[in-house]
Structure formats: structure tokens, C-alpha cells
Amino acid sequence: MTASRHPYLFATLGDATAHLPDELARTLETTLASLQAESAHKGVTLLSCLQAIREVDAADGQPLPVNGRSQSQRWALARIDRATAGLTQLLELLHAIERVRVDGDACQQVGDHVREGLLLACRGLAEYVDVQLQSA
């Protein structure tokens, strides 16, 4: 199964679509297509957002320009963009937590477990970006 055979289903389930029996996939695709047609006049819909995300949304929510890149390269770059945006947000949060720890009131401070969890999340995102850069 490819995204072109079942675009609505692929937008919803991604690669898991390939594991569905063809008859079920066709039925689900027909249902999703009719839902999309019914809600098309309503503007932003869940399915349209899923399709936009599947079309390689960057951290700003906009599709990455093709610029001679393959679809898989665009997916990798979009993942890198989103991961670095998340990493930046986590580091800003950690910075604010540290300022409160040093200069703030005790009631405004978070525990060591929260700081450690945020640091681990930053490490995980940084490692993920490194892996994505190696494959891009």
C-alpha cells in the first residue's frame, strides 16, 4: 500500500497502513474521504492537519520547500527542525528554572527530579538530532 492509494488513511496511520488488509483499508479510506468532503467547507479539520503534518511540516508548521530534496530528506529535515525547536524550548525552561533556583523564592522552585527529567529530555533530543543529521 502506498500513500497515493489511500491518502487519507496514510495521513492518519502513516506506515501502519501497509499492515491493514486491503478490503479494510479501502473501507476506511472511503469513510475518511467522505468525512473530509463533508467537513471541507468548515476550514481546518483533523484530517487536513494530519495531511499537512505528513507533508513535512517544519517547527513553524509550514511545509519545507522541496529545493531538490527527496521526500525522505524533507522528512528528516522536518524532524530535525522540530526536535531543535523542542530542544530550544526545554533549554529556555531549564534556564528559567536555574534563575529561580538561584535568585527566586523557595516556593517557586521545582525539585531535582524535574530538572533531571528536563536534562534527560534535552540529551535525548540532542542525540535524536545527531542521528537524523547522520541520515540526512
Distance CA 49, CA 64 (A): 15
What is residue 18's predicted lDDT score, i.e. its pLDDT? 81
* pLDDT tens sequence across 12-63: 777 777 878 888 888 888 877 777 666 556 677 777 777 777 666 777 777 7
Cα 68 to chain centroid distance, Å, stands at: 22
pLDDT digits (tens, 9 = 90+) for 101-125: 999 999 999 999 999 999 999 999 9
Q: What is the pTM of this model?
A: 0.58
